[in-house]
Structure 1
Amino acid sequence: MLTRSVKSAWHHVRYIPLWSALLSSRWRSFERRSHALGTAVGGIVRWFPIVRRRVDREVLRVYPDMARRERALLRREMGRNMGQTLFEIYHDAEFQTRLDRFAVSGPGLDALEKARAAGRGAIIVSGHFGQWEAIRAVLKARGMESGAVYKPQTNRHYQRRLLAGIEAGGKPILATGRVGTKALVRHLRDGGIISILLDEKYAEGVRIPFVGMPAMTSLSAAQLALKYDLPMVPAYGTRVGDGSRFEVAFEAAIPHTDAHTMTQAFNDSLSARIHADPAQWYWLLRRWDGA
């Protein structure tokens, strides 16, 4: 009982900074609240020693010659993007009303429209880059509501807010694991769309190059696309300008070959986006640990 009490108290303590930041800015406009949280998180990521060292370690794996000042700026900008992304997910219903700030392009959107017209499902693959919820907002506005796969949070306060936010972006929201996988298959077979962030380390996966280095990667999205003859479309919501506008790009569906080749094609796609704008990617994923 004591252990549970201590754990619960620790959940409260860890949630207080975010709760305070959200509460203190609640009377401001959506953009000002988003920018305020972004600025706060950007400062933490740039200067807080533990976070600073962790980001630098990952960045130097990919960019070993990057100067200290350049890394500091990358941390700040990455943190700012993280803060804004978190705010927008927590307020996803309001975020989806701001479609005038989204510029949409890419042949993948036609592939999704054709799949819907044929009564077939589809798989969107993306990563922790820019604002990935912008992708589902665009789809929902076009009558193509997309579910999503997510990893439950250990902190119950974060979990409650996160789940409520992403549910506002589209359903079903499926937790990783056996039960979630079964529900995902049913959803796809019934003609549904699912969005998967494919850039997290997957211990049971295979080593596939990602941003130039081997990384343990799941083949599940490509395997499902092949098994059920579904389009697998890479899509990205890139922040532009002051971070409150987005370029939502639906790339061409990845040709059906084999799961390894298709997953490598996605890794190459996301890698190119990261190289073009490193601060848009979430460098805290520990993507290459143990790979």
Structure 2
Amino acid sequence: MPRPVEPQTSATKSETRFASMLDRVTVQHWLTDLVLRTLIWLTKRLPYKTRVRLMGQIVSGGIARLAGYRKRAERNLALVFPQMPKPEIRRLAKAACDNAGRTVIENYSLNDLVKVVRQGTISGDGMTALRAALDVGRPVIFATGHFGNYEALRILLKDQGITIGALYRPMKNTFFNAHYVEAMQSVSGPMFAQGRSGTRGFVKHLRAGGPLVLLYDIYSGSSPEIPFMGQPTRTAQSIGELALKFDALVLPYFCIRNADGITFKTELEAPVEGDSPEAIMLELNRRLEQKVYAHPEQWFWIHRRWKNILGVSSN
């Protein structure tokens, strides 16, 4: 005799819906990764300069528009520059997406990127302080934002025998995240995933005197609000907290894309000091602001940097 089917409870129905949703997300992520892998593979068949320019055009003209990144960038730009004419906002949003596309394919073209980056040098007041810190084994935190191509410094310092680890936030798309992290790890030092295990490794590396880089321009919902680009936004205090706890030297740096769209100039600035995590982060925000005001098309305006003002769904 067939066994009677028990009616689903509301809890069971919710679990079924959740599992179904996870399946859809997994398939969507797998398909997205497949498209991106294919695109990266195809463009890497082209000469380096051609592939960099083409990927910028593909992302800014197609992918960013379809994914809503262009609109998000326009909203962020309108928030920060309320008097800016709409055509200029649209131009900058497209240019920022172009820079993002170029950065992705550059980081997947490591051998070529290294050759290009080596054409430049490191300028700024930070090198003397860096050498002094390394000589005595003082921990060093390199701080930057998603600006230009932020990997250039790690390449240049690796050539000088200085390997830099990095703490990163894993992408929601685990398929894409796996090979992207692998590509980034080959740039210089170890990569530590944000989370309990990764943070332990990150702190252990720092305590042992290993230089590390942190990108600090992502919205952090559990952090205090401090000004950035004239608007309050939640900013992680990690760099300031680690600097004070381990007496680490904090060096802001910026890898600025030159007018040719291919080469870079890398600036390692004077150390940032402060008597509190917030004071350190305020100064780091100010340093990044200066670069964004000078080169607005090179910052990643596609991030949800002002969720506290624009909200999640609209930004």
Smaller-chain TM-score bracket: over 0.9
What stretches of structure 1 of length at least 5 have no aligned partner?
Answer: none
- Residue in 2 that maps onto 1:208: 226
Asked if 1:37 corresponds to 2:55, the answer is yes
TM-score (norm 2): 0.87
* Cα distance, 1:183 vs structure 2: 1.3
* Cα distance, 1:25 vs structure 2: 2.4
What stretches of structure 2 of length at least 5 have no aligned partner?
Answer: 1-18, 310-315
- In 2, Cα distance between equivalents of 1:3 and 1:269: 42
- In 2, Cα distance between equivalents of 1:156 and 1:4: 13
Asked if 1:134 corresponds to 2:152, the answer is yes
- In 1, Cα distance between equivalents of 2:69 and 2:23: 28
Which of the numbers 225, 230, 247 marks the counterpart of 2:265? 247
Moved more, 152-161 or 216-225: 152-161
- Residue in 1 that maps onto 2:6: none
- Residue in 1 that maps onto 2:15: none
Q: How many residues align?
A: 291
- In 2, Cα distance between equivalents of 1:40 and 1:207: 35
Moved more, 150-159 or 207-216: 150-159
Which of the numbers 219, 229, 241 marks the counterpart of 2:237? 219
Q: Is the 8 A contact 2:257 2:263 kept in 1?
A: yes
SS in 1 for 2:199: helix
- In 1, Cα distance between equivalents of 2:88 and 2:74: 11
* Cα distance, 1:101 vs structure 2: 2.9
Asked if 1:120 corresponds to 2:153, the answer is no
- Residue in 1 that maps onto 2:87: 69
Moved more, 217-226 or 48-57: 48-57
- In 2, Cα distance between equivalents of 1:155 and 1:280: 24
The one-letter amino acid paired with 1:278 is P
- In 1, Cα distance between equivalents of 2:140 and 2:210: 7
Cα–Cα, structure 1 residues 19 and 36, in superposed 2: closer, same or farther, change >3 Å? same
- Residue in 2 that maps onto 1:144: 162
Asked if 1:96 corresponds to 2:114, the answer is yes
Asked if 1:178 corresponds to 2:196, the answer is yes
* Cα distance, 1:48 vs structure 2: 4.1
* Cα distance, 1:160 vs structure 2: 1.7
* Cα distance, 1:220 vs structure 2: 1.3
- Residue in 1 that maps onto 2:183: 165
Q: Is the 8 A contact 2:44 2:109 kept in 1?
A: no
Cα–Cα, structure 1 residues 18 and 143, in superposed 2: closer, same or farther, change >3 Å? same
- In 1, Cα distance between equivalents of 2:37 and 2:63: 18
Q: Is the 8 A contact 2:124 2:267 kept in 1?
A: yes
Deviation per CA, 1:248-283, whole angstroms, max 9, x where unpaired? Answer: 000000124221111100000001111111111001
Cα–Cα, structure 1 residues 56 and 176, in superposed 2: closer, same or farther, change >3 Å? same
* Cα distance, 1:157 vs structure 2: 2.6
* Cα distance, 1:7 vs structure 2: 3.7
Q: Is the 8 A contact 1:45 1:79 kept in 2?
A: no
SS in 2 for 1:241: coil
SS in 1 for 2:264: strand
* Cα distance, 1:52 vs structure 2: 3.0
The one-letter amino acid paired with 1:63 is F
Which of the numbers 249, 255, 260 marks the counterpart of 1:237? 255
TM-score (norm 1): 0.93
Match runs of 1:188-199 below 5 Å = 188-199=206-217
Deviation per CA, 1:71-103, whole angstroms, max 9, x where unpaired? Answer: 121122111100010112223354223333323
SS in 2 for 1:290: helix
Deviation per CA, 1:32-66, whole angstroms, max 9, x where unpaired? Answer: 21111111112137754833321211111100111
Q: Is the 8 A contact 1:148 1:170 kept in 2?
A: no
Deviation per CA, 1:108-150, whole angstroms, max 9, x where unpaired? Answer: 1221111111122200010011110112111211111100111
The one-letter amino acid paired with 2:83 is D
Q: Is the 8 A contact 1:46 1:72 kept in 2?
A: no
- In 2, Cα distance between equivalents of 1:2 and 1:72: 38
- In 1, Cα distance between equivalents of 2:246 and 2:39: 45
